Chain A
Amino acid sequence: MSPAVRRALGLAALVALGGLCAWAVAGLPDFGHPRGPYATAAVRASLRHQVNATVGGVTFDVRGIDTLGEELILFCAAIGATLLLRAQRAEGQAQAAVERHEEAREQAPGSLRGLGAALVGPVLVLGAYVLAHGHLTPGGGFQGGIILAAALVLVYAAGQIVALERVRPVDLVEVSEAAGAAAYVLMAVGGLVFAGATMANFLPYGQAGMLLSGGTVPVLNVAVGVEVAGAITLIVTEFLDQALLRRA
Chain B
Amino acid sequence: MSVAPYLVAVWLLVIGLYGVITSRHLVHLVMCLSVMQASTYVLLLAIGYRTGGMAPIFADIPPGTPVVDPVVQALTLTDVVVEATASAVLLALAVQAHKRFGTADPDRLGELRG
Point out residues on A near B: beta carbons under 8 Å. Answer: 3, 6-7, 10-11, 14, 17-18, 21-22, 25-26, 28-34, 38-39, 42-43, 46-47, 52-55, 57-59, 62-63, 66-67, 70, 73-74, 77-78, 80-81, 84-85, 87-88, 136-138, 142, 208-209, 231, 235, 238-239, 242
Contact = CB atoms under 8 A, between A and B. Distances in A.
B109 interface: no
B70 A31 contact: no
A30 B18 contact: no
A39 B3 contact: no
Contact of B89 (A26, A42, A81, A142): A81
Nearest to B82: A73
A209 B17 contact: no
24 contacts: A14-B14, A30-B3, A31-B6, A32-B51, A34-B69, A38-B69, A38-B71, A39-B50, A39-B69, A39-B70, A42-B71, A43-B63, A55-B74, A57-B70, A59-B74, A63-B71, A70-B78, A70-B81, A74-B81, A77-B85, A80-B92, A138-B55, A138-B57, A239-B92
B10 A22 contact: yes
Given A14-B17, A18-B14, A242-B95, A52 B59 contact: yes
Chain B interface mostly: helix
A85 to B, nearest CB: 5
B9 A25 contact: yes
Interface string B70-94: 1101100110111001101101110
Interface residues of B, number: 51
Interface string B28-52: 0000000000000001001111110
A52 B58 contact: yes
B56 to A, nearest CB: 4
A208 B18 CA distance: 48
A54 B57 CA distance: 6
Contact of B95 (A52, A58, A84, A209): A84
Contacts of A14: 14, 17-18, 21
A209 B2 contact: no
> Dominant SS at the A interface?
helix
Contacts of B112: none
